[in-house]
Structure 1
Amino acid sequence: MDPQWWKHAVIYQVYVRSFADANGDGVGDLNGVRSRLGYLADLGVDAVWLTPFYASPMADGGYDVADYRTVDPLFGDLADAEALIGEAHGHGLRVIVDIVPNHTSSAHPWFQEALRSEPGSEARERYLFRDGRDGGPPNDWESVFGGPAWTQVADGQWYLHLFDPAQPDLNWQHPEVRAEFEDILRFWLDRGVDGIRIDVAHGMVKAPGLPDTGTSDQIGLLTKAELPYFDQDGVHEIYRQWRKILDSYDGMRIGVAEAWVRSAERMARYLRPDELHQSFNFHYAEAQWSAAEFREVVDASLDAVDAVGAASTWVLSNHDMQRHVTRFGGGETGLRRARAATLFTLALPGSTYLYQGEELGLPEVTDLPEEVLADPVWERSGHTDRGRDGCRVPLPWSGDASPFGFGGTPWLPQPDRWADLTVEAQRGEPDSTLELYREALRLRRGIPGDGLVWLESGPDVLAFRRGGFTCAINFGSVPARIESPGRLLLTSTTSDPTADPTVLPPESAAWWTGDIDD
């Protein structure tokens, strides 16, 4: 067992309700995931991250948790979760589960008790209840999902919810809250999970006094400016305690931060030796299709993690953002760029997260009927923001029509045009996106060393070397020549045995080798 496996792992995100449906109700479940573990092992990933499957009213797809130690019947039961963990290990896959500590569901027993209790009561102290100001909310904070971040209850007080009103924020200054989540961590670690992904890891501690921001459109400032309710220094005390718990278990269990912060240096603070092991690199995920922008983000990221002795974590898509095929232009252009960006990303030193379906080249579904939209962002924005459902459409596995082998009638409709993108349609096809991912993941294990040396290249090309391995990506619209790169290993474009292996077509990437073990 590699004691530092997370530093170079490829981790596959399973959005449980959209991955595979075993019982035919149209919603993905834990037994559906179990049925596809062989596919994930064959793909070549090292670990699986499961989105929340706990008891929940599903106001926000399970990120509103009513009981952290119980599996929601929609997804199965605790025995199914335990079986999934064991079977994943049998396939050589590690398992990371999602913990949601910034807020609970409004259906959580604690919050229900708070609503029944008086202002100033111990039950209300577990959350952030406050008196209003001038007939309105206590301050000017805005919800990530749109509208004010405060909702008034019957007795006149207001409670904070940085997301949906069904997701009240916890008060992390309360010792009972801290003790409860330490116990929740141990509950899942005792069941064999290899790590925890921490939802809204940057949000649990708020600035003293809950001061106004003095601005509107606050979420537009996320990753760009300081906000009094995100990335406060007090969160690090929590993670130092959690690290002690993780280190007390055998097998190198890890903590992963979902931390939307304003710089690579702020991100690296979550990765100090006595804190967490990984933090998602959202600045990389937000990079536009540009050689200069990718180079700037990569350099800043590597410099920041080097300063704290950690490894960087790269990600192009997840369940909260538009799929990168669409983000990079959509259609054939977007797919071509996405394939190139994938090869570039997988060649970087550090760990990579893949989002389910990106290995199929799935685009964002931008034309879902309004009546099926389930993301709370749709309602909270007054039907001006369609939300994140477009990247959460259930996967196409096989067949020529929906449900494409997913199970029952999918909870979000699958486009007919996905018939050519199923796993079945792409498996064994040399130029398919699925086979590109499989080959890249196989070869990636032989890339030597952790360092990265940039090579001289034109303004639209990024090229680097790691030992005898070379990667280059051409962001431009004309071919580019790469000087003496070695033997061609893999290219993001369709194979052409007559092509010059030192010439990189527009919007493509390639790998070459002098000594990679392939």
Structure 2
Amino acid sequence: MTDAPDPAVPDEARTRGPAGGPTRDALRDEPAWVRHAVWWHVYPLGFVDAFPVRSHVPGPDEHRLRRLLPWLDHAVELGASGIALGPVLASSTHGYDTVDHRRVDPRLGTEADLDELIAQAHARGLKVQLDGVFNHVGREHPLVQAALAGGPTSEAGRWVRWRDGADGPEPDVFEGHDGLVALDHDEPLVADLVVDVMTGWLDRGIDAWRLDAAYAVPERFWAHVLPRVRAAHPDVWISAEVIHGDYAGFVAASGVDSVTQYELWKAVWSSLEDRNLWELDHALGRHSAMLAEFVPTTFVGNHDVTRIASRLTDPRHLPHTVVLLALLGGTPSVYAGDEYAFRGVKEDRAGGDDAVRPPFPAPDELLAPDERLHRLYRDLIGLRRRHAWLHRARTRTLHLTNTQILLELTAQGRSLLLALHLDDTPWALPTDVAAHAVLDASDGSTPGVVGPHGWMVLAGTPGDDDELDG
């Protein structure tokens, strides 16, 4: 595969990536609908109790994907504008070992079940995102089986990346996982497959893609593939899983719309846990620099990490994570269960993800939910939806200690102030700040005073109200 410009991108719309690398479309911004996007993120195989079930022949009552339908109203009531689905395509075990990109996992149901989920989501105004696993496939994938039988010089062998093994060439694998066989991203057939799969499910009604392990795929591959997908679906939004490294450089070189902001995720929980808000301030400086180039995907929890309620030893600081997720620039994603303070610790062992990927009952059967936190999520997401300009808001730190931070969030000539406090005694805000109208707070304490372990959101200019639509 070469780095030649894709013919779908006009010459005048191209800019060079880092070091003269692959191009991306400089005139194309993210779709307009993303400005208002808040995702409710679900790991379906766990959510509907289909994993570790291995039966690939669903019985009459096992169209489990439909168990998500009653939860769509919950997503709407929460304030979400989309439902981000983890892997739903046919796989052998956990969903990331795909065996058929064109078929819904039989443990979840059928293509008709997914069609119904998409239709009912759209009827409620919810977008739908699928999880695309295109770096690797499962060892049981027919192409891998054919490649193993035929070897690297066979037709099927062209699809797989090979490495030298003790007994000769063997398929390369993803990060040491023997069941995840790496695809050869220099093979044009692999690019054609990814384009076909992405456009096929977009044709079927989805609105967005998450690219799993996108960091492990050469950026030039995405730069070649994504313009072809967007030629058919210009309103698609594409977020890539990137854990560390040069996020802005990856976006520029690959052409994705967004990447997962793991750096900010880590700073949020560890700065609160360690009562070291200097770490948060440093991460927010880097985050604001990213927002000048692209809008990251923000989160405080997902299917791959310990639940935020289990990360924090002081539950009084859990609301601080919610207010940060709701107000900071980015495209926020709420991992299902976090709004109820679900707990779960990820462990580095086989089955170590199970605790953060639990089955859910029907919404009316959820036992003893944390309604106070749930209400806080609703209120703060509502605040964000009324201030859509927060999508690209950058931050400026006005006051900072280990346990206090006062932030100004600005974009499009609008601003809000956010105060976070981690101490046992009240914090009297500066006089000029205290004069601002309070939009939301952790308690009903004295105006201009943040209560112990509290937070406060204030209008950016005295007298501003919270009904601005951005």
What is the identity, as a one-letter code, of the residue corresponding to 1:420?
A
Q: Hey, what's the Cα distance between the residues in 2 that align with 1:3 and 1:182? A: 19
Question: Given the alignment of the two structures, is residue 259 of structure 1 paired with residue 202 of structure 2, yes or no?
Answer: no
The alpha carbon displacement at 1:323 in A equals 0.8
Partner residue in 2 for 1:439: 379
What is the identity, as a one-letter code, of the residue corresponding to 2:196?
D
The TM-score normalised by the length of structure 2 is: 0.80
Q: Hey, what's the Cα distance between the residues in 2 that align with 1:453 and 1:120? A: 57
Aligned partner of 1:359 among 333, 339, 354 = 339
The alpha carbon displacement at 1:477 in A equals 4.1
- SS of residue in 1 equivalent to 2:282: helix
Aligned partner of 1:178 among 171, 191, 199 = 191
- SS of residue in 2 equivalent to 1:248: helix
CA contact (8 A) 2:277 2:401 kept: no
- SS of residue in 1 equivalent to 2:399: coil
The alpha carbon displacement at 1:268 in A equals 1.1
Deviates more, 1:108-117 or 1:118-127: 118-127
Question: Given the alignment of the two structures, is residue 464 of structure 1 paired with residue 407 of structure 2, yes or no?
Answer: yes
Partner residue in 2 for 1:429: none
Deviates more, 1:270-279 or 1:172-181: 270-279
Q: Hey, what's the Cα distance between the residues in 2 that align with 1:251 and 1:34? A: 28
Aligned partner of 2:326 among 346, 350, 365 = 346
Residue by residue over 1:425-451, the C-alpha shift from the partner in whole angstroms, topping out at 9 and shown as x without a partner, is x2xxxxx11011011111112237434
- SS of residue in 2 equivalent to 1:441: helix
CA contact (8 A) 1:6 1:277 kept: no
Aligned partner of 2:164 among 117, 125, 131 = 131
Q: Hey, what's the Cα distance between the residues in 2 that align with 1:10 and 1:84? A: 18
CA contact (8 A) 1:27 1:74 kept: yes
Instruction: Report the CA distance shift for 1:179/1:489 in structure 2 as closer, same or farther (over 3 A).
Output: same
What is the identity, as a one-letter code, of the residue corresponding to 1:76?
G
The alpha carbon displacement at 1:94 in A equals 0.6
Residue by residue over 1:20-69, the C-alpha shift from the partner in whole angstroms, topping out at 9 and shown as x without a partner, is 469999999321112211111111011111011111111xx111100011
- SS of residue in 1 equivalent to 2:333: strand
Instruction: Report the CA distance shift for 1:282/1:26 in structure 2 as closer, same or farther (over 3 A).
Output: farther
Partner residue in 2 for 1:282: 262
Residue by residue over 1:409-428, the C-alpha shift from the partner in whole angstroms, topping out at 9 and shown as x without a partner, is xxxxxxxxxx4226xxx2xx
- SS of residue in 2 equivalent to 1:272: helix
Q: Hey, what's the Cα distance between the residues in 2 that align with 1:356 and 1:505? A: 29
Aligned partner of 1:392 among 357, 368, 393 = 357
The TM-score normalised by the length of structure 1 is: 0.73
Aligned partner of 1:75 among 108, 123, 130 = 108
- SS of residue in 2 equivalent to 1:464: strand
Partner residue in 2 for 1:490: 440
Partner residue in 1 for 2:133: 100
What is the identity, as a one-letter code, of the residue corresponding to 1:463?
L
- SS of residue in 2 equivalent to 1:286: helix
Q: What pairs up with 1:23-422 in 2 under 5 angstroms?
A: 29-58=64-93, 61-132=94-165, 136=166, 156-163=168-175, 164-204=177-217, 235-250=218-233, 252-262=235-245, 266-272=246-252, 275-287=255-267, 288=270, 289=272, 290-306=276-292, 308=293, 310-329=294-313, 333=314, 335-364=315-344, 378-379=349-350, 387-395=352-360, 404=365, 419-421=367-369
- SS of residue in 1 equivalent to 2:216: coil
- SS of residue in 2 equivalent to 1:167: strand
CA contact (8 A) 1:462 1:472 kept: yes
The alpha carbon displacement at 1:301 in A equals 1.7
CA contact (8 A) 2:288 2:395 kept: no
The alpha carbon displacement at 1:89 in A equals 1.1
- SS of residue in 1 equivalent to 2:136: coil
Instruction: Report the CA distance shift for 1:24/1:15 in structure 2 as closer, same or farther (over 3 A).
Output: farther
CA contact (8 A) 1:257 1:279 kept: yes
Residue by residue over 1:185-243, the C-alpha shift from the partner in whole angstroms, topping out at 9 and shown as x without a partner, is 11111112111100000102xxxxxxxxxxxxxxxxxxxxxxxxxxxxxx222222333
- SS of residue in 2 equivalent to 1:66: strand
The alpha carbon displacement at 1:347 in A equals 0.9
- SS of residue in 2 equivalent to 1:452: strand
Partner residue in 2 for 1:510: 456
Residue by residue over 1:476-514, the C-alpha shift from the partner in whole angstroms, topping out at 9 and shown as x without a partner, is 4433222334232223x4x4x4x2132223333221234
What is the identity, as a one-letter code, of the residue corresponding to 1:50?
L
Unaligned runs of 5+ in 2: 1-29, 51-57
Structure with greater strand percent: 2
Q: Hey, what's the Cα distance between the residues in 2 that align with 1:7 and 1:241? A: 26
Question: Given the alignment of the two structures, is residue 453 of structure 1 paired with residue 396 of structure 2, yes or no?
Answer: yes
What is the identity, as a one-letter code, of the residue corresponding to 1:54?
L
Q: Hey, what's the Cα distance between the residues in 1 that align with 2:234 and 2:161? A: 37
Q: Hey, what's the Cα distance between the residues in 2 that align with 1:501 and 1:249? A: 53
What is the identity, as a one-letter code, of the residue corresponding to 1:120?
T
Percent identity (aligned): 26
Residue by residue over 1:282-325, the C-alpha shift from the partner in whole angstroms, topping out at 9 and shown as x without a partner, is 0111221231111111111221331x3x1233211100000111
Q: Hey, what's the Cα distance between the residues in 1 that align with 2:380 and 2:297? A: 17
- SS of residue in 2 equivalent to 1:325: helix
Partner residue in 2 for 1:411: none
What is the identity, as a one-letter code, of the residue corresponding to 2:353?
R
Structure with greater helix percent: 2
Structural RMSD (CA):
2.7
Instruction: Report the CA distance shift for 1:364/1:508 in structure 2 as closer, same or farther (over 3 A).
Output: farther
CA contact (8 A) 1:344 1:473 kept: no
Unaligned runs of 5+ in 1: 137-154, 205-234, 367-374, 380-385, 406-418, 427-431
Q: Hey, what's the Cα distance between the residues in 2 that align with 1:490 and 1:517? A: 10
